[in-house]
Structure 1
């Protein structure tokens, strides 16, 4: 009977570096063949593709390990506050047996406006924090954006599109009026996101099972997948507005309210000569104040293309993570892999670069609710779990896109 080999983070990082070394060797061989034969050998191309796939698989293993290590454990420490202990106990009774009196009394006492028999009951605060912490690890854009908690229906923010009015003047000189400041009123509503895990009564009757842990395990991936897609592609209708859903313009014609882009110069591809120039143009399209905290966001297919690029000195511009909890880098900037970014195609916006903490805001309305439904899918008990979340671009200067097109 064979045993499954479980590797440590250091071993997986070593595997990744070994695979990238093999990738560089095969790619150098391919480039040499192109220079001498006017085309690469089919065997070499196939070898490079297989190594590239191995790189992706090893990176995925490293990502899964990092998530497991970073995932908080619910129930590991007992609540220290008396009200939290009361809420945890009442919530546990509601989840297992459907008894609501304890939760009703507690939430009436707290005068909670975000719960009730129609909308469900708030999960205990420690569980809510842990679910949000898990989402920060699983949802790539949430992990790099700014996150704002609210207790109302939406986040409203005034933003200066021209910068604060200012000027130089001597101590005794009159203060002339500066140009009028342009203020944008931005609104980010929180939309309802739901998941509906099911449990058997036997599971609920098992005292060993931590119900809060179970709920978190069931909803985290569902929430993260929906969020991940919406923060990138969402149209803003009953969901957050993704940064690719805004109007885009060539960076030379950029104005506030649009997202600027730089073109590769070739439809659906990078240029045949000096392909990495497009990436350098993308980086330097961003102002220096945003560039220092810049990150690349791209899908797996785009990342497999940029792995092949080298500088004029022969150094590869992509590098694997240096540790289990690190990220790959491109031109020394972190690379965030997001599956919902489009693959390179004609006029696709497949790579983003920016200071996402200043560019994009995720809005969380406080409170995750659960409504127990033992009737709709007998013999299973459904748990209608909801959270309210919104998002959108809050600073159009802090993000740029790479367009796989002529212009």
Structure 2
């Protein structure tokens, strides 16, 4: 591979042209998926060449540079593909409402639009009074229509990586309490006619999940609010989705539980061999900030089988983009890549046949922290949403713009400490 510039026979790779855009071509999901798969094939060809060069002597710096460029392009293609798939799958606001009559929904939507556009809140006050709502003080805002609330949650589920794979509950109070059995009732075998001694009762404990306030403050111009063609509900959902998702993503991974959900990495971590309830089992690679020189894939196999079979069948890998880039280069003993691209548009990439979710708030390999999590997050981590998203209209603080102080309450924490295992890139 002279000069480190050739890929597989007959393949040409666009990023070799300095300054060329990585996103040339049609902006539809099918074309994006084809480009993504082409990028992965080029990545494999160049990485195979790098490995061959290492076996002969040392890798050509040009080959390493080219591999890094393709790796970056692969990440960007995947990000673009996910965005297109999300856009195509996004439902309309008016779907599947079976909790309220069409007339009541229209009344609430019209009243909310009047409040947002012109600040008139008389109709909203009447609606909350008829619904026997506790209401809110004058500076507390008003509930958005249910369609808008559901759309915000849908968008968060698509954008927030942990929310997408975690369990979820909706509550009307500020705290969700979940009992669990510390020790089940005593049981035993007896003969058909033998006496049945009384068994001990189960020992119960309680997990508590406090909902915390999350806010965003989109701004609008008077011209936008006066434009009758603008769907106000859709606009609010689009404005707050990214802000909410970014804050949630960080909290669900590493939040300390103070005025925010408690992330799974904030719980005590112990060596998996001495695991006990209330902490997460942790394995190490044996090398600080890296994989072992030989048998790198073995540590991933150990991580997979540290999880019990009942959790493993629905398990997911969670890691950052940079960690995924390092994992992408690994092969098994038969020379097959452990990381595989998504099988279809909108699907997740896989690692050792398990789905892989990218969460940028996970630590990097260089940090020697728990950079990879593996587990059944639907059983292991719980997201708790309090019903109701409120909006307070503020036309004064940033004139001539109108601010919309939008709040929702959300909590989270580990609910099953057996369901998640961690891998740290550390010597011990």
TM-score (norm 1): 0.95
Instruction: Spell out the pairing of 1:1-400 with structure 2 (5 A cutoff).
Output: 5-37=25-57, 39-74=58-93, 81-113=102-134, 115-163=136-184, 165-176=186-197, 181-400=202-421
Structure 2 unmatched ranges of 5 or more: 1-22
Q: How many residues align?
A: 404
Provide the secondary structure at the position in 2 that maps to 1:257: coil
Task: Say which is worse superposed, 59-68 or 108-117, in terms of deviation.
Answer: 108-117
Task: Say which is worse superposed, 213-222 or 43-52, in terms of deviation.
Answer: 43-52
Provide the secondary structure at the position in 1 that maps to 2:261: coil
Provide the secondary structure at the position in 2 that maps to 1:326: coil
Distance 1:86 1:216 in 2: 19
**Could you say if the C-alpha distance between residues 5 and 80 of structure 1 is closer, same or farther in structure 2, counting changes exceeding 3 Å?**
farther
Distance 2:62 2:30 in 1: 32
**Could you say if the C-alpha distance between residues 88 and 288 of structure 1 is closer, same or farther in structure 2, counting changes exceeding 3 Å?**
same
- State the shift of 1:183 in Å: 2.7
**Could you say if the C-alpha distance between residues 4 and 254 of structure 1 is closer, same or farther in structure 2, counting changes exceeding 3 Å?**
closer
Do the aligned partners of 2:25 and 2:31 also contact (CA within 8 Å) in 1? Answer: no
Distance 2:271 2:28 in 1: 45
- State the shift of 1:172 in Å: 2.6
TM-score (norm 2): 0.91
Structure 1 unmatched ranges of 5 or more: none
**Could you say if the C-alpha distance between residues 14 and 5 of structure 1 is closer, same or farther in structure 2, counting changes exceeding 3 Å?**
closer
Deviations 1:249-302 (A, max 9, x none): 010010000011110110011111110111111110000000000000000011
Do the aligned partners of 2:392 and 2:405 also contact (CA within 8 Å) in 1? Answer: yes
Provide the secondary structure at the position in 2 that maps to 1:262: strand
Do the aligned partners of 1:145 and 1:358 also contact (CA within 8 Å) in 2? Answer: yes
Do the aligned partners of 2:185 and 2:200 also contact (CA within 8 Å) in 1? Answer: no
Taking only aligned residues, the RMSD between alpha carbons, in angstroms, comes to 1.9
- State the shift of 1:306 in Å: 0.8
- State the shift of 1:85 in Å: 1.1
**Could you say if the C-alpha distance between residues 178 and 304 of structure 1 is closer, same or farther in structure 2, counting changes exceeding 3 Å?**
farther
Provide the secondary structure at the position in 2 that maps to 1:207: coil
